[in-house]
Amino acid sequence: MTKLKSKILVVDDNVGIRSALKLLLPMRFAEVELIASPKELMDTMRRFKPDAVLLDMNFEADINTGNEGLFWLSELKRDFPEVEVVLFTAYADIALAVEGMKRGAFDFVVKPWDNAKLLGILEEACKKHRKSASDEMLTTSAPSMQWGESEAMKQLRHEVERIAPTDVTVLITGENGTGKDVLASEIHRLSMRSRKPMVSVDMGAITETLFESEMFGHVRGAFTDAHADHIGKFEQADGTTLFLDEIGNIPLSQQAKLLRVIQNRSITKVGDTKSVPVDIRLICATNMDLAAMVAEGRFREDLYYRINTMPLHLPPLRERKDEIVSLSELFVKQYAEKYHRQAKGLSTEAKRLLKRCRWSGNIRELQGCIEKAVIYSETELIRAEDIQIRASELMEEKPVKSAESLEKAEEEVIRAALKKHNGNLSLVAKALGISRPTLYKRLKEYGI
């Protein structure tokens, strides 16, 4: 029996049913998690990220209307619309299960169940989820990357278009909320591996004890509670792109293991001795200064150079002012559809206010701000009074300087950076947030 690279979450308060499914489902699916109460459901969804949920219709819970399953189905489809839900029901509750399908459930299974039918339905649910995720990657990634007209973003776009079709390893740096994950998705979309969805991993969310199992996988019996083989992130990303977000959070004790896998392009699962080759394109991202961490002994120098083959720096939103309005309008459309609001755009005053904000939290902060504005707004155009921005985040509006004075200011900044970094052009370019070619151009223009 072929095992699918899929994850199933079972929610049922009957210990006997959970025990039976704990034996059955790992025969077909890579990962299975079982919980007894729907009170744990939403937290488990965020942590486990299943492809499909097998959800009982009735629980010993606070909601005793006889259709708890419908309530939790609605909660799932609201927060995790892409995950397929299969309802698990007694014969007497078939009418409720049919109603559940009208509300978005994939299918239902009647207890006592037929093993082959249950496995078949869950398999189809997982395939639909994977196809939906792949289609979404192919159709929605492109418009999400807003390039803007700043010199830094034009140069970044040029670099991305050059390196994306290759398999070169990329390190994306930038502040929190600048959209490093979106840039990684854009590189993947433009790559030769875009036919398969990119596999993303938040390295800050993986505990040190589970690092090897999560990244490289484990075999059944490798340790306590290892009841089935587990496919790690590297193997999941075979043939596509592996994105390691917040890579600076990897414990020093695990960095050598990661380096070995990146160098050899092969993994050895926990509890196994067999080496499994993996064909991946690696993209990493961090908001930390890895070079400083290397100097302090908190990040391996050899790992740093291995992942830093092609560095890309994503400037903060305050340096990409021309993108603020276009991003805001994109978020207005997104949240108006999500919350069924009438908002269609931004008033002139609202646009002016958004441009005055420092956006210390970058695009993530802007997105949250627009989401709240859409909810509060009662008109088709978002007004300035609908937008909640802290006074401390607003910058004073100043007269526009002449081109000559701007050039003089830029020259002074460059000279100061050269002095501070003793003429090291790599450090100067990094400090200024520009590429080396752009720095060379400016040095030539100003006769430095």
So what's the architecture of 403-445 in CATH? Orthogonal Bundle (1.10)
pTM comes to 0.57
Instruction: Give the pLDDT confidence score for residue 132 in this predicted structure.
Output: 62
Find tokens 């990493």 and name the residue: 284
E strand spans, 281-420: 281-286, 310-313, 345-346, 381-382
Q: How far is CA 308 from CA 245, 250, 291, 303, in A?
A: 14, 16, 10, 8
Taking the C-alpha atoms of residue 217 and residue 43, their distance in angstroms, rounded to an integer, is 23
Burial 268-296 (b: 16+ CB within 10 A, else e): bbbbbeeebebebbbbbbbbeebbebbee
Please name the amino acid found at residue 312: L
Structure tokens at 409: 């200011």
145-149+178-313: what CATH class? alpha beta
Burial 409-446 (b: 16+ CB within 10 A, else e): eebeebeebbeeeeeeeeebbbbbebbeebbeebbeee
pLDDT of amino acid 136: 45
What is the distance between the alpha carbons of residues 38 and 58, in angstroms, rounded to a whole number? 10
Q: What whole-number distance in Å separates Cα of residue 202 and Cα of residue 190?
A: 22
Segments of the chain assigned to CATH 1.10.8.60? 318-393
**Which segments of the chain belong to CATH 3.40.50.300?**
145-149+178-313
* Rounded Cα gap, residues 413 and 89, in angstroms: 68
Q: What is the spatial distance between Cα 197 and Cα 136, in angstroms, rounded to a whole number?
A: 9
Among candidates 157, 217, 184, which has minimal Cα distance to 284?
Answer: 184
**Which of 325, 326, 328, 324 has the alpha carbon at shortest distance from 336?**
328
The beta strand positions in 129-176, using DSSP E, are 170-173
pLDDT, residue 402, reads 53
Q: Residue 2 has what pLDDT?
A: 62
- pLDDT for position 430: 83
How is residue 203 written in tokens? 């390295």
Cα Dmax for the chain: 84
- Delimit the CATH 1.10.10 region(s) of the chain: 403-445
Assess whether the previous peptide bond of 50 is cis (omega < 30° from 0): no
E strands within 236-309?
241-245, 266-268, 275-277, 281-286
Instruction: Report the SS3 class of residue 286.
Output: strand
Residue 278 near residue 235, CB atoms below 8 Å: yes
Output the DSSP codes for 70-117. Answer: HHHHHHHHHH-TTSEEEEEEEGGGHHHHHHHHHTT--EEEEESPPHHH
Backbone φ and ψ of 283, nearest 5°: -125, 130
Task: Please answer whether residues 150 and 319 qualify as being in contact, where contact means their C-beta atoms are separated by less than 8 angstroms.
Answer: yes
Of 3.30.300.30, 3.40.50.2300, 3.40.50.620, 3.40.50.300, which CATH number belongs to 4-136? 3.40.50.2300
User: What do you get for the CA distance between the two ends of the chain, in Å?
Assistant: 69
**3-state SS, residue 49:** coil
Contacts 24+ apart (CB under 8 A), 391-396: 393/357, 393/358, 393/359, 393/360, 394/353, 394/356, 394/357, 394/358, 395/356, 395/357, 395/358
CA atoms within 13 Å, Cβ hemisphere of 69: 32
Give kind and range of the element (H or E) at residue 371: helix 362-376
DSSP state of 247: G
| pLDDT score at 10 | 97
pLDDT in tens, the chain (448 residues): 567 889 999 999 999 999 999 999 999 999 999 999 998 898 899 889 999 999 998 876 444 444 788 889 988 988 888 899 999 987 767 788 888 888 889 999 998 899 999 999 999 999 888 766 544 443 333 346 878 778 889 999 999 999 999 999 999 999 999 999 999 999 999 999 998 999 999 998 888 888 999 999 998 888 877 777 888 999 999 999 999 999 999 999 999 999 999 999 999 999 998 999 999 999 999 999 999 999 999 999 999 999 999 999 999 999 988 889 999 999 999 999 988 899 999 999 999 999 999 999 999 999 999 999 999 898 999 999 899 887 777 776 554 445 565 677 678 778 877 887 788 888 888 878 788 888 888 888 888 8
Task: State how far the Cα of 424 lies from the Cα of 316, in Å rounded to an integer.
Answer: 23
Residue pointed to by tokens 């700043």? 150
Q: What are phi and psi of 254, to 5 degrees?
A: -100, -5
Domain with CATH 3.40.50.2300 in the chain: 4-136
Q: Which residues pair with 7 in a beta bridge?
A: 31
Q: Which fold has domain 318-393?
A: Helicase, Ruva Protein; domain 3 (1.10.8)
Do strands 266-268 and 275-277 pair parallel, antiparallel, or not at all (unpaired)? antiparallel
Would you state the pLDDT for residue 140? 39
User: What distances in angstroms separate CA 8 from CA 27, 90, 109, 116, 391, one per listed residue?
Assistant: 12, 20, 15, 16, 47
Residue located via tokens 């340096």 = 319
Q: Which of 75, 15, 90 is nearest to 41 (CA)?
A: 75
User: Which pLDDT value is given to residue 210?
Assistant: 87
Q: Six-digit token pair at 105?
A: 């459930």
pLDDT at 64: 45
